Amino acid sequence: MTIKIVINSVQRTFDVQPDEVLLDVLRREGYLEVKGSCHAGDCGACTILLDGRPVASCLTLAAKADGHSLTTVRGIGDQAHPNVIQDAFVKNGAVQCGYCIPGAIVSAKALLDENINPTEDEIRLAMDSNYCRCTGYEQQLEAVLSAAEQLREDGTGKVSKK
């Protein structure tokens, strides 16, 4: 079947199988920033935004996204123009192996899109489904707090690297 999806603001059309999940379709189509890990919805590594809401792409049927809009971590920012959240993750030492990070940043983006003044508990709750085995989470929490502070000062969320 053919599906039409807007991915990171670009209209795309894909042929997919009815039982294919978004994670597999996205990676096949070159969106390799979406990382797979448990393939069971348990770990959050593959989180993307579907119409602005975080979903596990390993559990979401591609067909279900037909006519909808997706955002991956690369849609949030790239190396030349990182988003304030991405920048804060780097500057707060919140990244170790990095494998969980695209999913964690996507969840943080969904939170900050709705609430630029979250409490620590609200951040932990919003990102609770994003497992990380390296960092112990504290520096990621500080990164999101720092990003939120910057967003409150300058609502663009954009960072120019140097």
Partner 1 sequence: MSIEKKGFRHLREGSYPLTRVVGTSVSKVDGYALVTGAPMYADDIAARDFPQRLHGKILTSPIAHGIITAIDTSAAEALPGVHLVLTWKNTPRTFFTTAGQGWPEPSPYDNQMFTERVRFVGDRVAAVFADSSEVADEAVKLIKVTFKEEPAVLSAEDAIRAGAPVVHPESSKGAYDAAHNIAAHVDVNIGDVDKALAESEVSVSETFETHYVQHTPMETHTAFAYMDDMGKLVIVSSTQVPWHSRRIVSRVLGIPMSRLRVIKPRIGGGYGCKQEILIDDLVAYGVIKTGLPCEVELTRREEFVSSRTRHPMKVDMSIGSDAQGNFKALKMHVLSNTGAYGSHSLTVMSNTGSKTLPLYNKARDVRFFGDAVYTNLPVAGAYRGYGATQGYAALETTIDDLAAKLNMDPIELRKKNMIRVGEGSPIFEALGEGREGVAQTIKSSSLPELLDLGAEAIGWKEKRGKRVRVGHKVRGVGMSMHMQGSGIPLIDMASASIKLNEDGTYFLTMGATDIGTGSDTILSQMAAEVLGVTADKISALSSDTDLTPFDVGAYASSTTFVSGGAVIKAAKAVRNQIFAVAAEIFGEELDASLVSAEPKVEHDDSERDPILSFYYMEDGNVVSVRSGKKVSVSEVAYRAFYEVNQHQIAATQSFVSPHSPPPFAAHFVEIELDELTGKIKILKYVAAVDCGVSVNPDLVRGQILGALANGIGFALTEEYHFGSHGNMTNSSLFDYKILSRRDMPPTEVIVVDSYEPTGPLGVKSVAEININGPVPAIGNAIFDATGIRLHKSPYTPEKVLAALHGKSI
The smaller minimum CB distance to partner 1, of residues 5 and 85, is found at 85
Q: Which of 3, 16, 56, 73 binds partner 1 (CB under 8 A)?
A: 73
Residues 6 or more apart from 53 whose CB is under 8 A from it? 110
By the rule CB under 8 A, 69 interacts with partner 1: no
50 touches partner 1 (CB under 8 A): no
Judged on CB neighbours under 10 Å (0-12, 13-18, 19+), 67 is exposed
Rule CB under 8 A: is residue 86 a binding residue for partner 1?
A: yes
Work out whether 59 is an interface residue with partner 1 (CB under 8 A).
no
From the list 68, 67, 71, 56, the residue with the least C-alpha distance to 22 is: 56
**Residues found near partner 1 in the complex (CB under 8 A):** 27-28, 30, 32-40, 42-43, 45, 72-74, 77-79, 82, 86-87, 89-102, 105, 123-125, 127-141, 161
